Amino acid sequence: MSVFEIKQAGERKGRGLFATKRIAKGEIVLQEEPYAFSVYPHAREKYCNYSLAPPAEGENLKRCSKTKMSYFKDKECIQKAWTEHDYKRESKSIVKLRQYNEAAEFPAPLLFAAKVCWKMQRGKKEAQMIHNLSCEWEKEPKERIDEHKHLATMLSIFVDGYQADEEVIVEYAQILSKLNTNSFSIVGPDMETVAMAIFPNFGAMANHSMTPNS
Prediction pTM value: 0.85
In 3D, which of 72, 40, 32, 51 has the Cα closest to residue 194? 40
pLDDT digits (tens, 9 = 90+) for 150-159: 999 999 999 9
Do 59 and 42 touch, CB atoms closer than 8 A?
no
Q: Which range has the top average pLDDT, 55-59, 99-103, 208-212?
A: 55-59
pLDDT at residue 128, rounded to an integer: 94
Model pLDDT for residues 127-143, shown as the tens digit of each residue: 999 998 888 888 889 99
Between 154 and 11, residue with greater pLDDT: 154
Considering only CA atoms, which of 116, 200, 212 is closest in space to residue 158?
116
